[in-house]
Copies of this chain bind each other. A is one copy, B any other.
C-alpha cells in the first residue's frame, strides 16, 4: 500500500459516487499535486486486483470504481448520471430481487453472468481428475 494507492483508495472511500479514473485523478491531484493519470490507472488496477475495489461498467462509458464490497447492483440515472448502489432484497444468493430505492424508476435492467459454459466446465472437471489442480487448466486456456 503505497502513498498513491492509499490516496486513490481514500478518494474512492470519501465520496461513494462511483467516479471515473479521470475524476479520481482530479480529486487525487488536490492532495498530491505530482500524481499522474497513469498512476491513478495503475493504482485502480492494483486495488481492483487486490479485491478492495470493483470496476463498474455501463455500456462503453468510462469505467467507474466502487469500494463497496458487499453484493450489490448498480442503478444509473439516465437523467443526471448519478450511480447508486442497490442492495439485494434478501440473502438468497443474489438471484432474486433488489431493493430499488423508493422513487427510483427502473426502465431497463441488464444482467450479465460470467462462469464456465457446460463444455468448459466438463473439460475442467476431467482435467482436474488428471492433474488434481482445478485452476491450472483454466488458466492455461485463458492464456490464449
Contacts and interface: CB of A to CB of B under 8 A. Distances in A.
A4 interface: no
Contact of A106 (B114, B120, B124, B142): B114
B114 A107 contact: yes
B96 A113 contact: no
Interface of A is mostly: mixed
Interface residues on A, range: 35 or more
Interface string A73-85: 1111111101010
A57 B55 contact: no
Interface of A: 55, 57-60, 63, 73-80, 82, 84, 86, 94-98, 100-124, 138, 141-142
